[in-house]
Homo-oligomer: A and B are copies of this chain.
Amino acid sequence: MNTQIQLSERPVRGGIKVTPGCGAVVSFDGIVRGEEDGVPIAGLHYEAYQPMAERVIARILEELGRVHPFGLVCILHRIGFVPIGESAMRVDIHSKHRREAFALLSAFMDRFKQEVPIWKKVVH
């Protein structure tokens, strides 16, 4: 477990364009690891029923947003082959407070995995 800690007067890297009024920006990348159920893999191939996947994601966000309000959510999911070490999915959330953002991210990912018609196939 490696840690890096730095207090500095220089701007924090990033250059984020923040939604006005939002004090928390949280990002999640789901990275393809080198194994699936303990077996080494070359990567994952993702397929989606695309129009329905986008509708389901929008509905999940609408429902969760009533409980965990947000300023902006961006979802990117890669389709096709994704090699080890690359991001298959990215979620960006801008919220007024960090607790709303954390709760939304966690709840969204659980529902995403259950409900969104995107399938992965292991590639050896």
How many residues of A are counted as interface, with CB atoms below 8 angstroms from the partner's CB atoms?
67
> Is there an interface contact between B106 and A102, defined as CB atoms closer than 8 Å?
yes
Q: Known contacts A7-B54, A28-B98, A89-B12: does B19 contact A2 (CB below 8 Å)?
A: yes
For residues 89 through 118 of chain A, which have their beta carbon under 8 Å from a beta carbon of chain B?
89-90, 96, 98-99, 101-102, 105-106, 109, 118
Q: Whole-angstrom distance between the alpha carbons of A72 and B32 in the complex?
A: 17
> Is there an interface contact between A16 and B31, defined as CB atoms closer than 8 Å?
yes
Whether a CB of chain B sits under 8 angstroms from the CB of A120 is no
Contacts of A29 in B (CB 8 A): 12, 14, 16, 18, 24-26
- Give residues in A with beta carbon < 8 Å to B: 1-14, 16, 18-34, 48, 50, 53-54, 57-58, 61, 65, 69-80, 85-90, 96, 98-99, 101-102, 105-106, 109, 118
What are 27 A-B interface contacts by the 8 Å CB criterion? A1-B71, A2-B72, A3-B61, A4-B72, A4-B74, A4-B75, A7-B79, A8-B77, A8-B78, A9-B80, A11-B87, A12-B78, A12-B87, A13-B90, A14-B29, A14-B90, A16-B31, A18-B29, A21-B33, A22-B31, A25-B27, A25-B29, A25-B31, A26-B29, A26-B105, A28-B98, A102-B106
